[in-house]
Amino acid sequence: MLRKQLLLILLLLWIALPATAAEPMKIVYFDSYPPRSWLENGQMKGILVDIITEALHNRLGIPLQHEGYPWARAQAMVESGHADAFITVPTAKRKAYTVVSQEPVISFNLFISTQKNNPHLEELKQVTDIDGLKPYKLVDYHGNGFAAKRLKEFNVEWMPEVTSVYPFLNAGKADVLLVSERGIYDLNRFGYSNKLIVLPQPVYSLEFHLCIGKHSSFTDLLPQADKALREMQSEGLIKQISARYYR
Amino acid sequence: MKNFRYTIIFNLLLVLFFCGFVYFQEAAAERKLQREIEFHADILAPSVWTLFTPLMEQYLTLAVKSNDYRQMQVTSQVDQNLLFYHHDLENFEKWLFDAGIIRLRKLSTPIVYKEQNIGHLKISAYNKNFYLYAYLSIVLILTSLLSWFVALLYRERKTLKIRVEEKTAELAENNQQLQNEIKERLIKEKALRESEQTFLALFDHSFQFIALLDLDCRVRKINKTALSFRDLQEKDIIGKQFWETPWWSHSEKLVQQLKDAFKIAAEGQVARFEAHSVQMREIYLDITIKPVFNEEGEVIFVIAEARDITEVRRAENELKQAQKMESVGTLAGGIAHDFNNILGGILGTLALLKLKRDKGQQLSEEKLFSSLDTITETALRAKDIVSQLLTLSRKYDLKLSQVNLYDILQNVLKIAENSFDKSISIDCQMSEQLPVKADSNSLEQVFLNLCINAAHAMTIMRSPGDAWGGELNIRVKSIYLDKQLGRKAGEYWCISIIDTGVGMDEANLKQIFVPFFTTKNKDAGTGLGLSMVYNIVKQHEGFIDVDSQPGKGSSFYIYLPICSDEKCRQVDESEVPLVSGEGLILIIDDEELIRSNAAELLEECGYQTMLAENGAQGIEIYRQQQGRVDAVLLDLVMPVMSGKETYAALKEIDPQVKVLLSSGFRQDTRVDEILAAGADGFIQKPYSFHQLSQAIGQLLN
């Protein structure tokens, strides 16, 4: 009996050792989503990279490998098992192939961005719910899973790149672009702030969670990750990291 | 075969070319598709990298349709399907695809982006080289067919050339044969022409009339001799029945003779007869109708030949007459002696009677009648001699009738006994009834001639120094003979005339019937006697056998058919009653005695008579009594006007006049001319009462 238990332990060790020691956890990001994540000189940088590094590597000792891809590709890699995890809004589709952390990595609101001279500007100022945007033409980018699901029944013009949505809106080809703080960050970064405005009332709130692929060997890490994130949230570290990028 | 080998090689080259073309074309298409797929992968790479499916989808749609692919698929690097676009063929091409004619070419290439393999692009492309291959196949098949056609043409040309050469050789050979045949034919034609000319020369210039008749007795061919005889054209004769032709149609007797002869010839036998016609002029024809047989022995034609023997007959008659005169000359000495004896007897008796009367002697009635009887008997003997002389002098006329050989031979015997040298003893044994159908005058001539020859053989033909005299035996017996060549089967009288004269050797015996052949001295014979005998016997359907040995004498056997037919029975004239009648008969004759005798006879028979001593008087009487004269008995030979002239005048007065011509010369051509002109009958002088009454009776009835 004892011999059998010993053999089982050895087997588990044989399985666990390579996962923990040899293979780092590959976390993929949208490579062009500053300041949350972006690829710069072959290195991933951004709010999400910093939070996850702190939570999983610094606090849990998990070796990490941060890789940036077009957002759809990044998701596909997790779905196909080529990557272990990504951080995003956990939609039903994503939940189908990932296990999601209970604690959010980041939380943020969505605001209405439109032209300053948009004829519906006053009407848009009165919209407080995302469903109030149905009469208007929206623009968003391909790979935005939240938008793909939530704005399914809306009049949306889909752009191939996230960076394409701003000139499209600026050209007056759409009425509304839902933006978060990151969007506002881009809008300012690309110089559209003099033509476009962001209305102050939030119309929707969102949270990014750690989603570990069901194929990944790190799914068991999720409770520890939740704990680490909770601690960072309580320590105010997450806000500090975000603020550092939005300054 | 050589050109077919080239064609096979050429076609193999075509196949090789086609295979090579297909191989290189497929390889080129593969390379092209490879370049295309790599190009598509390069274009798609950014979209695949970003997985921006709308853009990928648009591109795939555009690429599939523009390049006519069946399918494009983008997969991930783990071969997970990312995007798929499919395009089916339509209509005919779909059928070609389903049938496996349009195949698929499948290629795959990795999609590389930023030196990473981010997936694969897979293409299923329709391989539509089929059209090119089909087109090329058609071209090559046509080329192949053309090559075979050219090969065939070449072979046909070669075959044709060989055939032409063969045919040319054959034609040349045939031509040579033809030329040879033409030469042979020309030679044959020339020979045929010559033969035909010869035939026509013989046929047309023959002295004989020749006609080729079919089995319906219609004239198929006739020679010029026959046509020229009556100045006829061939078209007038060809196709007509032979007896309907102008030569014979006037005479029913001739027509019947021809029909009978044709019937015999059609049955395969030769028929021959002598025709006597007086239509335009007197003519004798020796007509032979004989069959022509084919190889099977069937009669296919009948040839009618007619030979004009008129001159022959005339010559024969003249010769016979000369022969008679010769006989008369021979007999003259003996006859003169007899006549002198007779005259001596008559004159002596008369002188005795005158002497007694001059002396005033009373002649008893018995003595007177005895002297008159002697004179009458002696005169009758003279009459017989005269009668025999007349017979000899009479011209030949073969008139067959029932006669008794006995009478004929008796006449001959009388002449012989009276005229032959007394050193010759004559012995004749025969029955008194020897009926035969013959011309009595001719037969008398025959027997007399043979007897004279026998007498000469026993007298003048004996060598000098040899004693004259011998025996002349005449026998007649009946004999039955079977059919032999030249004679019919039946009963014959065999008249044998056998002498014990000088006889003949075999060489002379063979020539005795040849005209002008004689063993006598020039003055003693003409050489025509036995020739005439032979002809006369033959005309009586008889024949002659001769047996002779030099020094022992000669035996002549004359065979004549016995006439046992009841119709041949000789009727005794005395049994025939006189024929009575009524009517006026005009008798024109220069002989008063004949006129008066004829008138007395006819009146005795119930007729009325009127007499004229010449033609002119007769014509005058006839004109005066026109309508009353029922018949005219007209003499042929008269002074003032001849019988012919008188008949013509009478005919002019009354075309219906009935004329009975009388003459002592039946053979006179004038008789025939008058009969041909329409005279109703002829009676030969001297005629008996019975003959005249019958002739007039037949004329009026």
CATH of the domain at A160: 3.40.190.10
User: How far apart are alpha carbons B198 and B528 in whole angstroms?
Assistant: 36
What is the pLDDT, as a whole number, of residue A129?
92
Chain A 68-87, residues with CB within 8 Å of chain B CB atoms: 69-73, 76, 80, 82
Selected residue with higher pLDDT from A10 and B179: B179
With 70 as the cut, is the pLDDT of residue B568 above it? no
With 70 as the cut, is the pLDDT of residue A10 above it? no
Mark whether A71 and A120 lie in a shared domain. no
What is the pLDDT, as a whole number, of residue B463?
85
Contacts of B47 in chain A (CB under 8 A): 160
User: How far apart are alpha carbons A185 and A12 in whole angstroms?
Assistant: 47
Mark whether A117 and A77 lie in a shared domain. no
User: Length of chain A in residues, anyone?
Assistant: 247
Q: Which of B86-90, B377-381, B506-510 has the lowest mean pLDDT?
A: B377-381
Distance of CA A70 to the CA centre of its chain: 12
Q: What is the mean pLDDT of residues B457-466?
A: 87
DSSP one-letter code for B580: P
Average pLDDT over chain A reads 88
User: How far apart are alpha carbons B170 and B152 in whole angstroms?
Assistant: 25
Model confidence band, residue B335 (pLDDT cutoffs 50, 70, 90)? low
Mark whether A142 and A199 lie in a shared domain. yes
Report the gap between the CA of A136 and the closest CA in chain B (Å): 22
CATH 3.30.565.10 fits B399-570, yes or no: yes
Contacts of B52 in chain A (CB under 8 A): 70, 72, 142-143, 160
Mark whether A47 and A127 lie in a shared domain. no
With 90 as the cut, is the pLDDT of residue B266 above it? no
What is the pLDDT, as a whole number, of residue B586?
92
Q: Are A138 and A177 in contact (CB under 8 A)?
A: yes
Residue spans of the domains in chain B: they are: 2-133, 208-308, 311-396, 399-570, 577-700
List pLDDT tens digits, range B584-623: 999 998 888 788 888 888 888 889 999 999 899 999 999 8
What is the pLDDT, as a whole number, of residue A13?
46
Same fold, B2-133 and B208-308: yes
Candidates A127, A90, A107; CA nearest to A213 is A90
The shortest CB-CB distance from B52 to any of A69, A80, A142 is to A142
With 50 as the cut, is the pLDDT of residue B659 above it? yes
Amino acid sitting at position B263: K
A93 CB within 8 Å of a chain B CB: no
Which residue(s) pair with A178 in the sheet? Answer: A112
The shortest CB-CB distance from B52 to any of A69, A80, A160 is to A160
With 70 as the cut, is the pLDDT of residue A157 above it? yes
Mark whether A19 and A101 lie in a shared domain. yes
Model confidence band, residue A209 (pLDDT cutoffs 50, 70, 90)? very high
Measure Cα distances from B56 to B62, B72, B84, B477, B664 in Å. Answer: 10, 11, 10, 159, 162
Contacts of B50 in chain A (CB under 8 A): 70-73, 142-143, 160-161
Is residue A25, in this structure, part of any structural domain at all? yes
| Pairwise CB contact (< 8 Å): A70 & B55 | no
Report the gap between the CA of A70 and the closest CA in chain B (Å): 5
Candidates B668, B664, B690, B671; CA nearest to B391 is B664
Mark whether A61 and A114 lie in a shared domain. no
% of chain B beyond a pLDDT of 70 = 88
Tell which phi-psi region holds residue B360, choosing left (phi > 0), alpha (psi between -120 and 50) or beta. Answer: left
Q: Which helix (H) or strand (E) holds B491?
A: strand B490-499
Q: What is the mean pLDDT of residues B579-584?
A: 86
The shortest CB-CB distance from A80 to any of B49, B55, B78 is to B78
Distance of CA B609 to the CA centre of its chain: 56
Fold classification of B311-396 is Helix Hairpins (1.10.287)
User: How far apart are alpha carbons B228 and B225 in whole angstroms?
Assistant: 5
Mark whether A152 and A241 lie in a shared domain. no
User: How far apart are alpha carbons B647 and B674 in whole angstroms?
Assistant: 7
Q: What is the ipTM of this complex?
A: 0.72
Is residue A4, in this structure, part of any structural domain at all? no
Q: What is the mean pLDDT of residues B412-440?
A: 86
Highest average pLDDT, of A191-205, B47-61, B404-418, comes from: A191-205
The shortest CB-CB distance from B50 to any of A80, A82, A160 is to A160
Is residue A35, in this structure, part of any structural domain at all? yes
Candidates B379, B392, B382, B480; CA nearest to B444 is B392
**Domain span including residue A240:** 11-107+208-246
Chain A 182-211, residues with CB within 8 Å of chain B CB atoms: none
List pLDDT tens digits, range A82-115: 899 999 999 899 999 999 999 999 999 999 999 9
Q: Are A84 and A212 in contact (CB under 8 A)?
A: yes
Q: Which of B247-251, B536-540, B628-632 has the lowest mean pLDDT?
A: B247-251
B564 three-state secondary structure: coil
With 80 as the cut, is the pLDDT of residue B654 above it? yes
Fold classification of B577-700 is Rossmann fold (3.40.50)
| Pairwise CB contact (< 8 Å): B53 & A82 | no
What CATH class has B208-308? Answer: alpha beta
User: How far apart are alpha carbons B426 and B422 in whole angstroms?
Assistant: 10
Q: What is the mean pLDDT of residues B119-138?
A: 88
Mark whether A116 and A169 lie in a shared domain. yes
Is residue A78, in this structure, part of any structural domain at all? yes
Amino acid sitting at position A174: A
Mark whether A30 and A142 lie in a shared domain. no
The shortest CB-CB distance from B51 to any of A70, A82, A161 is to A70
Model confidence band, residue A17 (pLDDT cutoffs 50, 70, 90)? very low
Q: Which of A26-35, B260-269, B396-405, B632-641 has the lowest mean pLDDT?
A: B396-405
With 60 as the cut, is the pLDDT of residue B667 above it? no
What is the pLDDT, as a whole number, of residue B396?
46
What is the pLDDT, as a whole number, of residue B386?
63
Model confidence band, residue A20 (pLDDT cutoffs 50, 70, 90)? very low
With 80 as the cut, is the pLDDT of residue B344 above it? no
Mark whether A53 and A28 lie in a shared domain. yes
Is residue A220, in this structure, part of any structural domain at all? yes
What is the pLDDT, as a whole number, of residue A15?
46
Q: Which of B140-149, B367-376, B518-527 has the lowest mean pLDDT?
A: B518-527
Mark whether A217 and A187 lie in a shared domain. no
% of chain A beyond a pLDDT of 70 = 91
CATH number among 3.60.15.10, 3.20.20.80, 3.30.450.20, 1.10.10.60, domain B2-133: 3.30.450.20
What is the pLDDT, as a whole number, of residue B233?
85
What is the pLDDT, as a whole number, of residue A19?
43
Mutate to test the interface with B, among A39, A71, A79, A142 (most CBs of B within 10 A): A142
With 60 as the cut, is the pLDDT of residue B626 above it? yes
With 90 as the cut, is the pLDDT of residue A52 above it? yes
Q: What is the mean pLDDT of residues B153-162?
A: 82
With 90 as the cut, is the pLDDT of residue B417 above it? no
What is the pLDDT, as a whole number, of residue B282?
73
The shortest CB-CB distance from A160 to any of B55, B77, B78 is to B55
Q: Are B602 and B692 in contact (CB under 8 A)?
A: yes
With 70 as the cut, is the pLDDT of residue B267 above it? yes
In chain B, what are the helix, strand and coil shares in percent, each to the nearest 5? 50, 25, 25
Is residue A3, in this structure, part of any structural domain at all? no
List pLDDT tens digits, range B105-117: 899 999 998 888 8
List pLDDT tens digits, range B473-521: 999 998 888 766 566 778 899 999 999 999 998 888 887 877 666 676 6
Which residue(s) pair with A45 in the sheet? Answer: A38
Mark whether A16 and A103 lie in a shared domain. yes
Q: Dihedral sign, CA of B26, B28, B34, B39?
A: negative
Amino acid sitting at position B651: K
Average pLDDT over chain B reads 82
With 70 as the cut, is the pLDDT of residue B390 above it? no
What is the pLDDT, as a whole number, of residue B517?
65
B43 CB within 8 Å of a chain A CB: no
Selected residue with higher pLDDT from B673 and A178: A178
Model confidence band, residue B570 (pLDDT cutoffs 50, 70, 90)? very low
Is residue A2, in this structure, part of any structural domain at all? no
What is the pLDDT, as a whole number, of residue B685?
72
What is the pLDDT, as a whole number, of residue A120?
94
In sequence order, what DSSP letters do the residues of B64-113 get, joined into one string?
Answer: HHHHTEEEEEEEETT--EEEEEE----HHHHHHHHTTSSEEEEEEEEEEE
